[in-house]
């Protein structure tokens, strides 16, 4: 039995590693995993009992990113984040983050190159020189033990930039003046105010009336108009606009902010239960988060500071390592007490983020991941979102591995290093807006691809109808060098013959409805009360590429739309006539930057001649998602599975690693549970072997992930064949990319 004399109150231990990651939110977790998978010895410390930060089971904010609530199609972040979120969605049908912390813990605890310490907070930093960190001192809250952690590189993922602050790095907190960077959304005069914090809470429907008596400390929101511009009827989730504290110091006054938000939450719940009919009679409050969900505090000055202009002009950077796409989402610092709309969002297309924003300009071995990166207040309105932050982590963790290999600080990474970093990120299933796979070791790029079938481009039926009066458009790829006719399934609900006009436009990518120049037009008629395929003669030579058809607005005419089927490379859109509006449902002002808004599904149409954009060679063209082309092999849905895809190499090789990239439906904010088009059951074969027989490399019967890696077991082969036996529901096989790597000994030859 131990007694007080046998055990000190606390102990001190010195640890060493290649990389110290401070902060275990989504950015910190992904940073640690990326670095560890590339050979770094990593220590990850986090000041809470569970991983995940704002997405943890403590705060329970759903992860969002460049998808921007569906505004940017097929834009969801991939790589390590997708791997984690797909696994989480497979384990629970609950859309919340209640189990995500456990998935994160599993991924961290099973990675052999990571040591982790929860309930551990950085309290000070020691420097070996004025511009270099030598170690951090951390205290474990569960025991009071002291850890001195020495590392060559450090990543500040603390949110509040604790490591950067203790190291003496320059940082900002507040809003820049419009004049400093020429940002139209900035303030006229700089100030100290920031985005407010939210205190999340949970409730449930009990199925029967539940009374609620507010505590004395609850704020009085009994007035019918207590929450102007904030929709709060029939809530399914805690409202994000329960926000406050932006006028206080988000770090040093955090307790005051949390106390006031607690009063606000109970006052809101009293309003929902006792003052008006809000559809919450049967609901009971379950819990409040024990900690704040912060949006903004310190922002560290890096080698480059990203601005609103960089984002809205989609500036390209030579050192781009990830991308964002969430709207520039700015909230009034007064939070819930602001009498106007609780947010203003400027919707944007995806944009690049350079590596120079992700390390301190003064502390040579300090990287940054999270809301503390080098951006202006306005730019932070977009980059602060958790999916974006996770991709920052994958970029930084991978960059550290190159720094480790060549003993470099981040500012010493050469253009060649940056190119190598970008290729490593793509190999690990990250996505870069303007980079393709150019890996010289991927023999798949040099192979000839063939398939048992490929999907012709047409949609022959639907389950919904859209009025042409709204303004309807359909984007599609053309492969055959001409378009003789466009045929649409239409319905005339009027009692007279209607004349319809279509115009053809060019597109630069699969979300591009911005080009208004008309290539050609065509007119056709539809009889009264008729549902029919109507052909529009075009007879025009066209370059291979993306195009879109726009219907002239006509009342009483409907265009058939299939909500459950969207061929790769197609997009459906409706006209958005109001450039600036207030959304009563969502509760914020919306500043639109496009005139067409894309939606899920696809209109029913046929092309003459038939287009074939889903051929086998699409999976070796360097892309791993639809961008300016479908970039995927899709088998003919009219031909039953199994279907096969074969890569024939230019010469025999010893098979090393084979990487397969499937489709987990990137057109959702979160991965859908068992995405229907994801390949579920497949076999991977080595073909053209020395004995003339195919050899089975791997068989997987229950896949739901996007990326799968297989060891080729040093089999000598002249080709590989992917045999798809079943999906999770779709009648076709779909593969974005196959990479094939020879063994290390073969590469050295």
DSSP bridge partners of 144: none
Distance CA 461, CA 447 (A): 36
Distance CA 120, CA 128 (A): 23
| β 344-346/328-330 pair status | antiparallel
pLDDT tens across 262-311, in order? 999 999 999 999 999 999 999 999 999 999 999 999 999 999 999 999 99
Distance CA 186, CA 180 (A): 9
pLDDT at residue 728 above 90?
A: yes
Among 4-8, 228-232, 331-335, 511-515, name the one with the lowest average pLDDT. Answer: 4-8
Q: What is the pTM of this model?
A: 0.94
Reported confidence tier of residue 465, pLDDT bands at 50, 70, 90: very high
pLDDT at 582: 45
pLDDT at residue 589 above 60?
A: no
Answer yes or no: are the C-beta atoms of 283 and 351 closer than 8 Å.
Answer: no
pLDDT at residue 586 above 80?
A: no
Reported confidence tier of residue 112, pLDDT bands at 50, 70, 90: very high
CA nearest to 136, candidates 33, 19, 299, 38: 19
Dihedral, CA of residue 241, residue 246, residue 249 and residue 251, to nearest 10: 30
Q: How many CB atoms lie within 10 A of CB 738?
A: 23
Distance CA 246, CA 334 (A): 6
The torsion angles phi and psi of 576, rounded to 5 degrees, stand at -110, 100
Distance CA 236, CA 218 (A): 22
pLDDT at 6: 63
407-416 own/partner pairs: CB under 8 Å, 24+ apart = 409/364, 409/365, 410/355, 410/358, 410/359, 410/364, 410/365, 410/367, 411/303, 411/359, 411/364, 413/319, 413/355, 415/318
pLDDT at 747: 78
Q: For the purposes of burial, counting CB atoms within 10 Å of the CB of 188, is it exposed (0-12), middle (13-18) or buried (19 or more)? A: exposed
pLDDT at 566: 87
pLDDT at 583: 47
Distance CA 635, CA 644 (A): 8
pLDDT tens across 653-698, in order? 999 999 999 999 998 888 999 999 999 999 999 998 888 899 999 9
504-507 own/partner pairs: CB under 8 Å, 24+ apart = 504/538, 504/540, 504/547, 504/548, 504/549, 505/547, 505/548, 505/549, 505/550, 506/545, 506/546, 506/547, 507/475, 507/545, 507/546, 507/547, 507/548
pLDDT at 580: 45
Reported confidence tier of residue 584, pLDDT bands at 50, 70, 90: very low
pLDDT at 78: 98
Kindly report the average pLDDT of the chain as a whole number: 94
What is the three-state SS of 194-243?
Answer: CCCEECCEEEEECCCCCCCCCCCCCCCCCCCCCCCCCCCCCCCCCCCCCE
Answer yes or no: are the C-beta atoms of 699 and 683 closer than 8 Å.
Answer: yes
Among 468-482, 524-538, 569-583, name the one with the lowest average pLDDT. Answer: 569-583
Q: What is the mean pLDDT of residues 373-387?
A: 98
Reported confidence tier of residue 575, pLDDT bands at 50, 70, 90: confident
Percentage of the chain exceeding pLDDT 70: 96
pLDDT at residue 95 above 90?
A: no
CA nearest to 632, candidates 585, 596, 586, 679: 679
pLDDT tens across 403-437, in order? 999 999 999 999 999 999 999 999 999 999 999 99
pLDDT at residue 5 above 80?
A: no
CA nearest to 389, candidates 35, 58, 17, 55: 55
Q: What is the mean pLDDT of residues 51-79?
A: 91
Cα torsion 545, 550, 551, 555: sign: positive
pLDDT at residue 330 above 80?
A: yes
Q: What is the mean pLDDT of residues 104-132?
A: 97
Among 65-69, 171-175, 393-397, 620-624, name the one with the lowest average pLDDT. Answer: 65-69
Answer yes or no: are the C-beta atoms of 119 and 142 closer than 8 Å.
Answer: yes
What is the DSSP secondary structure assignment for residue 492, as one 8-state letter?
E
CA nearest to 96, candidates 227, 271, 192, 238: 238
CA nearest to 228, candidates 281, 271, 283: 271
């Amino acid at each position: 039995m131990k007694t007080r004399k046998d055990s000190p109150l606390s102990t001190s231990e010195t640890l060493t590693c290649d990389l110290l990651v401070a902060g275990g939110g989504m950015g910190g977790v992904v940073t640690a995993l990326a670095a560890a998978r590339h050979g770094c010895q990593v220590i990850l410390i986090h000041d809470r009992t569970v991983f995940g930060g704002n997405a943890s089971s403590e705060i329970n904010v759903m992860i969002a990113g460049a998808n921007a609530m569906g505004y940017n199609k097929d834009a969801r972040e991939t790589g390590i984040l997708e791997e984690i979120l797909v696994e989480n969605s497979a384990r629970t049908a609950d859309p919340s983050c209640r189990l995500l912390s456990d998935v994160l813990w599993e991924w961290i605890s099973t990675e052999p190159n990571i040591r982790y310490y929860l309930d551990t907070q950085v309290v000070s930093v020691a420097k070996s020189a004025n511009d270099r960190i030598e170690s951090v001192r951390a205290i474990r809250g569960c025991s009071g033990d002291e850890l001195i952690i020495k590392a060559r590189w450090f990543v500040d993922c603390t949110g509040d930039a604790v490591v950067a602050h203790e190291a003496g790095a320059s940082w900002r907190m507040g809003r820049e003046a419009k004049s400093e960077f020429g940002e139209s959304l900035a303030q006229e005069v700089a100030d100290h105010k920031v985005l407010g914090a939210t205190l999340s809470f949970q409730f449930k429907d009990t199925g029967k009336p539940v009374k609620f008596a507010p505590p004395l400390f609850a704020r009085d929101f009994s007035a019918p108009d207590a929450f102007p511009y904030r929709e709060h009827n029939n809530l399914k989730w805690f409202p994000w606009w329960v926000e406050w504290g932006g006028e206080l110091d988000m770090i040093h006054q955090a307790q005051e902010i949390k106390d006031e938000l607690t009063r606000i939450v109970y006052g809101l719940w009293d309003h929902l239960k006792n003052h008006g009919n809000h559809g919450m009679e049967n609901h009971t409050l379950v819990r409040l988060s024990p900690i704040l969900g912060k949006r903004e505090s310190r922002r560290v000055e890096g080698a480059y500071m990203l601005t609103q202009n960089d984002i809205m002009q989609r500036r390209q950077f030579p050192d781009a390592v990830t991308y964002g796409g969430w709207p520039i989402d700015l909230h009034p610092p007064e939070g819930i007490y602001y009498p106007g709309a609780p947010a203003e969002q400027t919707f944007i297309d995806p944009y690049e983020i350079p590596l120079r924003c992700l390390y301190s300009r003064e502390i040579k071995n300090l990287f940054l991941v999270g809301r503390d990166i080098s951006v202006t207040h306005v730019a932070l309105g977009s980059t602060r979102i958790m999916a974006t932050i996770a991709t920052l982590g994958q970029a930084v963790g991978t960059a550290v591995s190159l720094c480790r290999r060549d003993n470099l600080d981040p500012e010493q990474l050469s253009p060649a290093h940056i190119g190598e970093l970008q290729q490593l990120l793509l190999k690990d299933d990250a996505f870069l807006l303007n980079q393709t796979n150019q890996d010289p070791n991927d023999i798949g790029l040099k192979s000839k691809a063939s398939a048992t079938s490929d999907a012709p481009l047409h949609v022959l039926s639907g389950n919904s109808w859209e009025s042409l009066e709204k303004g309807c458009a359909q984007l599609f790829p053309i492969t055959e060098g001409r378009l003789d006719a466009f045929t649409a399934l239409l319905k005339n609900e009027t009692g007279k013959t209607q004349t319809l006009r279509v115009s053809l436009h060019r597109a630069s990518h699969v979300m591009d409805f911005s080009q208004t120049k008309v290539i050609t037009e065509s007119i056709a008629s539809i009889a009264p009360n008729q549902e029919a395929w109507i052909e529009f003669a075009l007879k025009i030579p066209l370059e291979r590429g993306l195009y879109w058809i726009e219907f002239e607005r006509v009342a009483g005419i409907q265009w058939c739309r299939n909500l459950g089927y969207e061929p790769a490379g197609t997009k459906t859109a409706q006209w958005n006539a109001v450039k600036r509006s207030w959304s009563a449902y969502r509760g914020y002002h919306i500043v639109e930057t496009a005139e067409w808004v894309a939606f899920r599904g696809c209109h029913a149409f046929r092309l003459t001649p038939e287009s074939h954009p889903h051929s086998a060679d699409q999976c070796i063209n360097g892309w791993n998602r639809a961008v300016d082309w479908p970039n995927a092999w899709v088998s003919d849905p009219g031909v039953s599975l199994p279907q096969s895809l074969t890569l024939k190499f230019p010469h025999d090789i010893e098979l090393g690693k084979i990487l397969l990239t499937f489709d987990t439906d990137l057109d959702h904010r979160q991965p859908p549970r068992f995405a229907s088009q994801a390949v579920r059951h497949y076999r991977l074969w080595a073909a053209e072997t020395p004995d003339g027989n195919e050899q089975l490399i791997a068989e997987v019967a229950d896949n739901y992930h996007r990326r799968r890696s297989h060891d080729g077991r040093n089999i000598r082969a002249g080709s590989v064949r992917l045999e798809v036996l079943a999906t999770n529901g779709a009648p076709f096989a779909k593969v974005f990319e196959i990479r094939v790597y020879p063994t290390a000994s073969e590469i050295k030859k």
